[in-house]
Amino acid sequence: MTQFDNVSVTKQANVYFDGKCVSHSIVLEDGTKKSVGVILPSTLLFTTGAPEVMELLAGACRVRLAGSEEWTEYTGGQSFQVPGDSSFDIETTETLHYVCHFG
Amino acid sequence: MTQFDNVSVTKQANVYFDGKCVSHSIVLEDGTKKSVGVILPSTLLFTTGAPEVMELLAGACRVRLAGSEEWTEYTGGQSFQVPGDSSFDIETTETLHYVCHFG
Protein backbone atom coordinates (compact mmCIF):
# COMPACT_ATOMS: atom_id res chain seq x y z
CA MET A 1 0.00 0.00 0.00
CA THR A 2 1.82 3.08 -1.24
CA GLN A 3 -0.87 5.58 -0.27
CA PHE A 4 -3.51 6.37 2.34
CA ASP A 5 -7.04 6.78 0.97
CA ASN A 6 -9.98 8.79 2.30
CA VAL A 7 -7.87 10.86 4.64
CA SER A 8 -7.69 14.49 5.64
CA VAL A 9 -4.29 16.10 5.17
CA THR A 10 -3.18 19.34 6.78
CA LYS A 11 -2.01 21.70 4.03
CA GLN A 12 0.80 23.22 6.04
CA ALA A 13 3.77 20.99 6.84
CA ASN A 14 5.46 20.46 10.18
CA VAL A 15 9.05 21.65 9.82
CA TYR A 16 11.51 20.58 12.52
CA PHE A 17 15.25 21.12 12.99
CA ASP A 18 15.62 23.77 10.27
CA GLY A 19 13.95 21.49 7.77
CA LYS A 20 15.95 18.35 8.50
CA CYS A 21 12.55 16.80 9.26
CA VAL A 22 9.41 17.71 7.30
CA SER A 23 6.08 15.98 7.80
CA HIS A 24 2.41 16.35 6.97
CA SER A 25 -0.30 15.37 9.45
CA ILE A 26 -3.11 13.14 8.27
CA VAL A 27 -6.31 11.88 9.86
CA LEU A 28 -7.83 8.58 8.71
CA GLU A 29 -11.56 8.04 8.24
CA ASP A 30 -11.80 6.47 11.72
CA GLY A 31 -10.13 9.47 13.36
CA THR A 32 -6.68 7.89 13.72
CA LYS A 33 -3.89 10.45 13.42
CA LYS A 34 -0.62 9.74 11.63
CA SER A 35 2.07 11.71 9.93
CA VAL A 36 3.99 11.09 6.72
CA GLY A 37 7.42 12.62 6.46
CA VAL A 38 11.08 12.74 5.65
CA ILE A 39 14.26 13.00 7.71
CA LEU A 40 17.30 14.23 5.80
CA PRO A 41 20.81 12.97 6.66
CA SER A 42 21.52 14.32 10.16
CA THR A 43 21.79 13.36 13.81
CA LEU A 44 18.75 14.52 15.77
CA LEU A 45 17.10 14.07 19.15
CA PHE A 46 13.33 13.62 19.00
CA THR A 47 11.02 13.68 21.99
CA THR A 48 7.68 11.88 22.08
CA GLY A 49 4.37 12.78 23.68
CA ALA A 50 2.25 9.78 22.73
CA PRO A 51 3.98 6.45 22.05
CA GLU A 52 5.06 6.17 18.41
CA VAL A 53 5.71 3.49 15.86
CA MET A 54 8.05 4.77 13.17
CA GLU A 55 7.42 2.77 10.00
CA LEU A 56 10.33 3.27 7.61
CA LEU A 57 9.41 3.24 3.92
CA ALA A 58 12.90 3.89 2.58
CA GLY A 59 16.32 5.03 3.72
CA ALA A 60 18.63 4.04 6.55
CA CYS A 61 19.29 5.14 10.13
CA ARG A 62 20.63 4.18 13.54
CA VAL A 63 18.44 4.74 16.59
CA ARG A 64 19.20 4.90 20.31
CA LEU A 65 16.22 4.99 22.66
CA ALA A 66 16.34 7.03 25.86
CA GLY A 67 18.05 5.09 28.64
CA SER A 68 19.78 2.75 26.21
CA GLU A 69 23.43 2.80 25.21
CA GLU A 70 22.85 0.64 22.19
CA TRP A 71 22.36 1.95 18.67
CA THR A 72 20.18 -0.21 16.42
CA GLU A 73 20.21 0.03 12.63
CA TYR A 74 17.00 0.18 10.64
CA THR A 75 16.30 0.44 6.93
CA GLY A 76 13.26 0.83 4.70
CA GLY A 77 10.69 -1.90 5.37
CA GLN A 78 11.44 -1.98 9.10
CA SER A 79 9.77 -0.23 12.05
CA PHE A 80 10.76 0.77 15.56
CA GLN A 81 8.71 1.65 18.62
CA VAL A 82 9.26 4.56 20.98
CA PRO A 83 7.50 4.83 24.37
CA GLY A 84 5.43 7.93 25.21
CA ASP A 85 6.97 10.87 27.09
CA SER A 86 10.40 9.69 26.05
CA SER A 87 13.03 10.47 23.44
CA PHE A 88 15.35 8.90 20.91
CA ASP A 89 18.53 9.82 19.07
CA ILE A 90 18.43 9.12 15.37
CA GLU A 91 21.35 9.25 12.98
CA THR A 92 19.96 9.25 9.46
CA THR A 93 22.54 8.05 6.97
CA GLU A 94 20.24 7.86 3.95
CA THR A 95 17.16 10.08 3.57
CA LEU A 96 14.43 8.46 5.58
CA HIS A 97 10.83 8.27 4.37
CA TYR A 98 8.47 7.33 7.15
CA VAL A 99 4.95 7.00 8.44
CA CYS A 100 4.62 7.85 12.12
CA HIS A 101 1.80 5.99 13.91
CA PHE A 102 0.73 7.45 17.26
CA GLY A 103 -0.77 5.86 20.35
CA MET B 1 -9.61 25.76 4.74
CA THR B 2 -6.50 24.44 6.45
CA GLN B 3 -6.83 20.86 5.21
CA PHE B 4 -7.92 18.73 2.27
CA ASP B 5 -10.58 16.13 3.09
CA ASN B 6 -11.35 12.79 1.41
CA VAL B 7 -8.06 12.65 -0.43
CA SER B 8 -5.47 10.01 -1.19
CA VAL B 9 -1.95 10.88 -0.10
CA THR B 10 1.19 9.15 -1.32
CA LYS B 11 3.13 7.90 1.72
CA GLN B 12 6.54 8.62 0.27
CA ALA B 13 7.51 12.26 -0.16
CA ASN B 14 9.01 13.91 -3.22
CA VAL B 15 12.44 15.23 -2.22
CA TYR B 16 14.06 17.76 -4.56
CA PHE B 17 17.31 19.72 -4.40
CA ASP B 18 18.84 17.75 -1.51
CA GLY B 19 15.73 18.33 0.56
CA LYS B 20 15.40 22.07 -0.02
CA CYS B 21 11.96 21.17 -1.39
CA VAL B 22 9.84 18.37 0.09
CA SER B 23 6.29 17.64 -1.03
CA HIS B 24 3.60 15.00 -0.78
CA SER B 25 1.31 14.20 -3.71
CA ILE B 26 -2.42 14.08 -3.12
CA VAL B 27 -5.39 13.14 -5.27
CA LEU B 28 -8.82 14.68 -4.57
CA GLU B 29 -12.05 12.71 -4.74
CA ASP B 30 -12.68 13.98 -8.30
CA GLY B 31 -9.25 12.82 -9.48
CA THR B 32 -7.57 16.24 -9.37
CA LYS B 33 -3.88 15.98 -8.48
CA LYS B 34 -2.14 18.48 -6.25
CA SER B 35 0.90 18.55 -4.01
CA VAL B 36 1.45 20.06 -0.58
CA GLY B 37 4.98 21.02 0.30
CA VAL B 38 7.70 23.19 1.70
CA ILE B 39 10.62 25.10 0.18
CA LEU B 40 13.41 25.96 2.64
CA PRO B 41 15.43 29.19 2.28
CA SER B 42 17.38 28.79 -0.98
CA THR B 43 17.57 29.90 -4.60
CA LEU B 44 16.30 27.21 -6.94
CA LEU B 45 15.29 26.71 -10.56
CA PHE B 46 12.11 24.68 -11.05
CA THR B 47 10.86 23.35 -14.36
CA THR B 48 7.20 22.64 -15.10
CA GLY B 49 5.50 19.96 -17.14
CA ALA B 50 1.85 20.90 -16.72
CA PRO B 51 0.96 24.53 -15.97
CA GLU B 52 1.02 25.20 -12.22
CA VAL B 53 -0.57 27.55 -9.76
CA MET B 54 1.59 27.88 -6.65
CA GLU B 55 -0.66 28.86 -3.74
CA LEU B 56 1.49 30.15 -0.89
CA LEU B 57 0.18 29.39 2.59
CA ALA B 58 3.02 31.01 4.52
CA GLY B 59 6.54 32.33 4.00
CA ALA B 60 8.12 34.72 1.52
CA CYS B 61 9.90 34.49 -1.83
CA ARG B 62 10.85 36.27 -5.05
CA VAL B 63 10.03 34.63 -8.36
CA ARG B 64 11.29 35.19 -11.90
CA LEU B 65 9.44 33.40 -14.69
CA ALA B 66 11.35 32.07 -17.71
CA GLY B 67 11.86 34.82 -20.28
CA SER B 68 11.31 37.58 -17.75
CA GLU B 69 13.97 39.79 -16.19
CA GLU B 70 11.68 40.91 -13.43
CA TRP B 71 11.57 39.39 -9.95
CA THR B 72 8.19 39.56 -8.20
CA GLU B 73 7.78 39.18 -4.44
CA TYR B 74 5.11 36.91 -2.99
CA THR B 75 4.16 36.07 0.58
CA GLY B 76 1.73 33.72 2.29
CA GLY B 77 -1.84 34.25 1.08
CA GLN B 78 -0.73 35.00 -2.48
CA SER B 79 -0.42 32.77 -5.56
CA PHE B 80 1.51 32.81 -8.79
CA GLN B 81 1.00 31.02 -12.09
CA VAL B 82 3.62 29.24 -14.16
CA PRO B 83 2.99 28.12 -17.78
CA GLY B 84 3.48 24.47 -18.77
CA ASP B 85 6.81 23.28 -20.19
CA SER B 86 8.52 26.28 -18.70
CA SER B 87 10.60 27.18 -15.63
CA PHE B 88 10.98 29.71 -12.88
CA ASP B 89 13.68 30.90 -10.52
CA ILE B 90 12.58 31.16 -6.92
CA GLU B 91 14.51 32.76 -4.09
CA THR B 92 12.88 31.70 -0.83
CA THR B 93 13.69 34.11 1.97
CA GLU B 94 11.34 32.64 4.56
CA THR B 95 10.34 28.95 4.58
CA LEU B 96 7.55 28.58 2.07
CA HIS B 97 4.51 26.40 2.67
CA TYR B 98 2.56 25.81 -0.51
CA VAL B 99 -0.14 23.93 -2.35
CA CYS B 100 0.74 23.27 -5.99
CA HIS B 101 -2.28 23.05 -8.31
CA PHE B 102 -1.63 21.44 -11.69
CA GLY B 103 -3.27 21.92 -15.07
Tens of pLDDT, residue by residue over A61-74, are 999 999 999 999 99
**Could you tell me the CATH number of the domain that includes residue B47?**
2.60.120.10
> B14, B34, B20, B6: which is closest to A57 by C-alpha?
B14
pLDDT (0 to 100) of residue B30: 96
> In whole angstroms, what is the distance from residue B95 CA to residue A48 CA?
25
> Chain A residue with minimal CA distance to B11?
A3
- With respect to residue A52, please indicate whether it lies within any of the assigned structural domains: yes
Residues 6+ apart with CB under 8 A from A69: none
What type of residue is A21?
Answer: C
Report ipTM (2 d.p.). 0.94
Residue A67 included in any domain = yes
Considering only CA atoms, which of B63, B61, B15 is closest in space to residue B35?
A: B15
pLDDT greater than 90 at residue A36: yes
Residue A8 has phi, psi (to 5 degrees) of -100, 140
Amino acid at B84: G
Report the SS3 class of residue B29. Answer: coil
In a domain, B41, yes or no: yes
A to B CB pairs, distance under 8 Å = 92
Q: Render pLDDT for B38-73 as a digit per residue (tens, 0 to 9).
A: 999 999 999 999 999 999 999 999 999 999 999 999
**pLDDT averaged over every residue in chain A:** 97
The residue among B12, B23, B26, B96 with the most chain A CBs within 10 A of its CB, best to mutate, is B12
Domain assignment present for A39: yes
Contact with chain B for residue A10, Cβ under 8 A = yes
Task: Please indicate, yes or no, if residue B81 is contained in any of the structural domains.
Answer: yes
Domain count, chain B: 1
What b/e string do you get for A26-51 counting C-beta neighbours within 10 Å, with b at 16 or more?
bbeeeeeebbbbbbbbbebebebeee
Q: Is residue A2 part of a domain?
A: no
- Residue A1: predicted pLDDT: 85
Task: Return the pLDDT at A40.
Answer: 98
Q: Do B4 and A11 touch (CB under 8 A)?
A: yes
Residue A97 has pLDDT above 90, yes or no: yes
pLDDT score for A103? 82
Task: Establish if A68 belongs to a structural domain.
Answer: yes
Quick check: B103 pLDDT over 90?
no
Give me the amino acid identity at B56: L
Is residue A44 included in any domain, yes or no? yes
**B28 has a pLDDT exceeding 90:** yes
Could you tell me what percent of chain A has a pLDDT over 70? 100
Give the range of the structural domain holding residue B64, as residue numbers without chain letter. 23-102
CA-to-CA distance for A58 and A26, rounded, in angstroms?
Answer: 19
Checking if the pLDDT of A8 tops 90, the result is yes
Residue B26: alpha-carbon gap to chain centroid: 13
Instruction: Tell me whether A66 touches chain B (CB under 8 Å).
Output: no
